[in-house]
């Protein structure tokens, strides 16, 4: 099958950047990203690329180069599906919030809607690519929906999970460690492999069966998150024993079998996927009665919750066991630097806990707007919208946010935080002036010299 037109359903953090890079590297392909969300599509079409719906370093330049040439963003879903030979499904697969598997299983309703939509409108043969992260054996369900249309249209299903990380998405897409393609049809696999081969060396394009591909994605995220929970567990022990977690991480990371990456102790991992994918893995294991497997992986998220709670507890304990009426300045709200994404950010849970203790919180994040911060808290449903509005205030510059605070909590590792005038910040704070560095970002000795009471993770 020759592919000249690609459709990607879902214009989110994965669909947008991934298709932009495919379009950049394959100028002869016409790539259209479709979404039900008109506002999101309008934002992707905004002539000013600083107003794209997602912030991702390097993305704007690629959009400028490709948009209108061979990359398009549209809400014309049915038409785009029908005229494309290859369709990527890149919609969200959040944790279920209702019914069977609530709080654990992946909610596949959006994926199923896509499959039904493709089945309804397709009049020619298609390759359907699972780009969303899906439970192992989902391809079977998609195949069943597509094969029961009653039409003569033939569908090949491939699994092609995405491994990009936010904040480095463009670099990850341009230089992937590997591209994984799982499928039954060798012909379909090669069609997709050829698209990647425009810029990815052949030895980095792995071909597997579809189930290995689906399961590898969940496993990769589980292993990555496990490393963070492992170093965070050691960070707690460091705090009791005067060992330094940064030194321990360096010492173990130099063992080539362990490696240095993903050993940065923190207030806890966030992001839209680690927790959701591990819970999904745990749910799948339990559904096969593999309780030892499920318990093993579940501990990774249980420990992460503990780490976030421990950070917040430490703030309260240090501030003489009460933060009621005290102003705490938050630096950072995004779940990591270089993204405007706040899904499952540790900041949300630390804030919620401190608000329960009646703190007043002032926030500055370089890329997250006030509306988003309020909606993240309102989503938790812990207190009324008006209470959240009263207790938390967002600023668009850091010095005002930190003025008159009793303590500062660093929740995201934005580079700019390091170069602030910390002397000036100190002079404008209540004394003693505390810093709780949830990212081990600042220079401890410098902060202590200025006069701060400084504490970080695992030191
Ligand atoms: P997202 O929420 O940013 O984007 C999903 C988009 O799909 C939304 O814009 C939504 O409106 C759209 N959508 C939902 N149902 C639709 C339908 N029926 N028709 C058309 N559009 C529809 O999600 P995301 O972060 O891009 O994640 C997408 C998938 O990729 C998830 O399965 C996720 O686990 C996986 N993933 C995400 C990342 C990441 O860094 N965010 C990395 C790798 C894999
Ligand atoms: C993660 C994976 O790294 C990607 O490979 C995967 O494609 C993606 O999930 C996904 O499936 O969604 P992402 O969540 O965007 O990417 O970002 P990461 O860099 O993995 O960071 C996740 C969280 O872990 C962040 O809160 C980060 O601050 C934290 N982290 C990361 C640490 O606390 N310590 C570390 O050493 C590394």
pLDDT in tens, 49-63: 999 999 999 999 999
pTM of the entire predicted model = 0.97
Q: What is the pLDDT of residue 151?
A: 84
CB atoms within 10 A of CB 283: 20
Q: What is the pLDDT of residue 149?
A: 81
Which atom of ligand 2 is nearest the CA belonging to 264?
36
Contact 54, 340 (CB under 8 A): yes
292-342: per-residue pLDDT in tens? Answer: 999 999 999 999 999 999 999 999 999 999 999 999 999 999 999 999 999
Q: Which tokens hold the place of 229?
A: 């929970």
Question: Which helix (DSSP H) or strand (DSSP E) does residue 258 occupy?
Answer: none
**CB-based pocket (< 6 A), ligand 2:** 133, 162-166, 221, 224, 228, 262-264, 266, 269-274, 335-336
Q: What is the pLDDT of residue 406?
A: 98
Preceding omega of 432 cis (within 30 degrees of 0): yes
Q: What is the dihedral of CA 336, 340, 345, 349, to 10 degrees?
A: 130
Q: What is the pLDDT of residue 324?
A: 98
Distance CA 326, CA 362 (A): 11
SS3 47: coil
Confidence of residue 1 (pLDDT cuts 50, 70, 90): confident
Which atom of ligand 1 is nearest the CA belonging to 91?
7
Contact 202, 181 (CB under 8 A): no
Residues sharing a CB contact under 8 Å with residue 268, sequence separation 6 or more, in sequence order: 228, 232, 304, 305, 307, 308, 311, 346, 349
Q: Whose CA is nearest to atom 15 of ligand 1?
A: 110
Distance CA 399, CA 387 (A): 24
State if residue 162 touches ligand 1 by the CB under 6 angstroms criterion: yes
Residues sharing a CB contact under 8 Å with residue 114, sequence separation 6 or more, in sequence order: 9, 10, 89, 91
Comparing C-alpha atoms, which of 391, 389, 260 is closest to residue 325? Answer: 391
447 to 112, 206, 327: CA distances (angstroms): 53, 48, 20
120 to 78, 94, 102, 317: CA distances (angstroms): 9, 24, 29, 59
pLDDT of 355 above 80: yes
217-272: per-residue pLDDT in tens? Answer: 999 999 999 999 999 999 999 999 999 999 999 999 999 999 999 999 999 999 99
Q: What is the pLDDT of residue 153?
A: 94
Distance CA 159, CA 176 (A): 17
How large is the average pLDDT for residues 24-46? 98
Comparing C-alpha atoms, which of 411, 402, 190 is closest to residue 312? Answer: 411
Which atom of ligand 2 is nearest the CA belonging to 274?
9
Which atom of ligand 1 is nearest the CA belonging to 166?
40
Quote the percentage of the chain above a pLDDT of 70: 100
Ligand 2 centre distance from Cα of residue 336 (Å): 8
Ramachandran class of 250: left when φ > 0, alpha when ψ lies in -120 to 50, beta otherwise: alpha
100 to 104, 105, 107, 137, 423: CA distances (angstroms): 9, 8, 10, 18, 54
SS3 393: strand
Residues sharing a CB contact under 8 Å with residue 265, sequence separation 6 or more, in sequence order: 231, 232, 234, 235, 245, 246, 249, 440, 457, 458
Quote the percentage of the chain above a pLDDT of 90: 98
Q: Which residue has the tokens 């009263």?
A: 390
Ligand 2 centre distance from Cα of residue 126 (Å): 33
Ligand 1 centre distance from Cα of residue 281 (Å): 19
Helices (H) and strands (E) in the chain, counts: 18, 14
Question: Which helix (DSSP H) or strand (DSSP E) does residue 274 occupy?
Answer: helix 274-287
State if residue 172 touches ligand 1 by the CB under 6 angstroms criterion: no
Ligand 2 centre distance from Cα of residue 165 (Å): 6
Ramachandran class of 372: left when φ > 0, alpha when ψ lies in -120 to 50, beta otherwise: alpha
State if residue 275 touches ligand 1 by the CB under 6 angstroms criterion: no
Q: What is the pLDDT of residue 117?
A: 96
150-172: per-residue pLDDT in tens? Answer: 788 999 999 999 999 999 999 99
Strands 392-394, 407-410: pairing is: unpaired
373-427: per-residue pLDDT in tens? Answer: 999 999 999 999 999 999 999 999 999 999 999 999 999 999 999 999 999 999 9
Q: Whose CA is nearest to atom 20 of ligand 2?
A: 165
How large is the average pLDDT for residues 25-40? 98
Ligand 1 centre distance from Cα of residue 265 (Å): 28
Summary mean pLDDT of the chain: 97
Q: What is the pLDDT of residue 207?
A: 98
pLDDT of 344 above 90: yes
Q: Whose CA is nearest to atom 28 of ligand 2?
A: 336
């Amino acid at each position: 099958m020759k592919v000249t037109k690609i459709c990607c359903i879902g214009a989110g953090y994965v669909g947008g950047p991934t298709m932009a890079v495919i379009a950049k590297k394959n100028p002869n392909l016409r790539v259209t990203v479709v979404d039900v969300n008109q506002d999101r599509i309008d934002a992707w079409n905004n002539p000013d690329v600083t107003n794209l719906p997602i912030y991702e370093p390097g993305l704007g330049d690629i959009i400028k180069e490709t948009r209108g040439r061979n990359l398009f963003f549209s809400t014309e879903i049915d038409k785009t599906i029908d005229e494309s030979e290859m369709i990527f499904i890149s919609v969200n697969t959040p944790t279920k919030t209702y019914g069977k598997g609530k709080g654990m299983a992946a909610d596949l309703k959006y994926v199923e809607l896509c499959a039904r939509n493709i089945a309804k409108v397709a009049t020619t043969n298609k390759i359907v690519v699972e780009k969303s992260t899906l439970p192992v054996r989902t391809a079977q369900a998609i195949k069943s929906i597509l094969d029961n249309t009653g039409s003569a249209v033939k569908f090949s299903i491939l699994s092609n999970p995405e491994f990009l990380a936010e904040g480095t998405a463009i670099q990850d897409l341009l230089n992937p460690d590997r591209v994984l393609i799982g499928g039954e049809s060798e012909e379909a696999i090669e069609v997709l492999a050829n698209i990647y081969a425009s810029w990815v060396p052949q030895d980095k394009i792995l071909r597997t069966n579809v189930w290995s591909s689906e399961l590898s994605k969940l496993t990769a995220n589980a292993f990555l998150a496990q490393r963070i929970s492992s170093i965070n567990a050691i960070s707690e022990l460091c705090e009791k024993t005067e060992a330094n977690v940064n030194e321990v991480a360096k010492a173990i990371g130099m063992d080539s079998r362990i490696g240095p990456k993903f050993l940065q102790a923190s207030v806890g991992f966030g992001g839209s996927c680690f927790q959701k994918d591990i819970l999904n893995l745990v749910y799948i294991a339990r559904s096969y009665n593999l309780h030892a497997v499920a318990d093993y992986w579940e501990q990774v998220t249980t420990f992460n919750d503990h780490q976030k709670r421990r950070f917040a507890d430490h703030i309260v304990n240090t501030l003489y066991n009460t933060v009621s009426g005290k102003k705490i300045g938050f630096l950072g709200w995004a779940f990591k630097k270089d993204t405007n994404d706040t899904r499952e950010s540790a900041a949300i849970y630390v804030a919620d806990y401190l608000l329960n203790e009646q703190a007043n919180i002032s926030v500055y994040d370089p890329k997250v707007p006030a509306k988003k911060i309020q909606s993240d808290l309102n989503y938790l449903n812990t207190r009324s919208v008006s209470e959240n509005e009263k207790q938390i205030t967002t600023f668009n510059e850091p010095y005002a946010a930190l003025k008159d605070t009793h303590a500062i909590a660093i929740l995201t590792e934005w580079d700019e935080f390091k170069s602030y005038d910390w002397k000036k910040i100190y002079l404008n704070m209540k004394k003693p002036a505390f810093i709780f560095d949830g990212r081990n970002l600042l220079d401890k000795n410098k902060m202590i010299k200025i006069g701060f009471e400084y504490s970080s993770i695992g030191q």
